[in-house]
Structure formats: C-alpha cells, structure tokens
Amino acid sequence: MRGDKAYSSRAIRGHLRSRGIKAVIPEPDDQKGHRRRRGARGGRPVALDTADYKNRNVIERRYCHIKQWRGLATRYDKHAIVYRAAVVLNAVIAWSRELTKRQIPATLARGDGLSPARSGR
C-alpha cells in the first residue's frame, strides 16, 4: 500500500503488517527524531522503496482525469451500464493518447515520420 507521511503511525503499519501488506509509507521527520532520541529502544528505521513511493499518486491523477468529464463527475446517467460505458470510453481515449505520445517521437527519430513531404502525399 502506498501512502503519505500522514499514514505513518505504528497502528497503521502494524495493521498492514498483520494482513501481510507491504507498506510504502515514508517516516515523518518528527517520528525519525523520536526514534533516534530513544536510541536502541527506538526500533529500526522504516524501510522505504523510493521508486515505488514516487508512483503513489498515479491512481489519484487518473481519477482526477476521469472526473474532468462532467457526466462522470456528476453521475447524471440513470443506468449503471451507461455510466460504466462512459468510464470505459474515457479510459480508451486516455490510453490512445498515451500511445500516440509514445509513438510519434519514435517515428520522427527514425526519419520515416509523418510529414506529407516524405510520405509521398
């Protein structure tokens, strides 16, 4: 589970550990100070996978993009199937945009780009 520093309590970490969930939550500076002040009784420092922590807001950002569609944000649709179709359509549009962002620079770098002069149009 990825989380912010606000979720770095011993109770939350213990609960996640008891369920076998790996916590990727950094330790706040005040907790670091308390642990250091207690010395050997303070316990071990919290292990943190920094690469994984950097990806903590990917889902939140995607959810914000989905909510840019007024119909999805306000849930005007009467039936769940129509709402789900709008979510899927939004995801397909986002996915196709990502694909074109990745393919256009690679195509231009090879020299067989999309310019009309080279394509014989």
Claim to verify: residue 45 and residue 93 sit in the same structural domain: no
Claim to verify: residue 41 and residue 62 sit in the same structural domain: no
Q: Is the pLDDT of residue 109 over 70?
A: no
Claim to verify: residue 38 and residue 81 sit in the same structural domain: no
- What's the whole-number mean pLDDT along residues 46-68? 79
Could you list the residue range(s) of the whole structural domain that residue 107 is in?
58-115
Claim to verify: residue 108 and residue 66 sit in the same structural domain: yes
Q: Would residue 121 count as lying in a domain?
A: no
pLDDT (tens digit per residue) in 17-29 = 899 988 888 888 8
Claim to verify: residue 71 and residue 45 sit in the same structural domain: no
Q: What does the CA dihedral 56, 58, 63, 64 come to, rounded to 10 degrees?
A: 100
User: How many DSSP H helices and E strands does the chain contain?
Assistant: 7, 0
pLDDT at 72: 81
pLDDT at 30: 77
pLDDT at 18: 92
- Please give the backbone phi and psi of residue 4, each rounded to the nearest 5 degrees, phi first: -80, 175
Instruction: Calculate the average pLDDT of the chain.
Output: 78
pLDDT at 113: 53
What is the model's pTM? 0.45
Q: Would residue 120 count as lying in a domain?
A: no
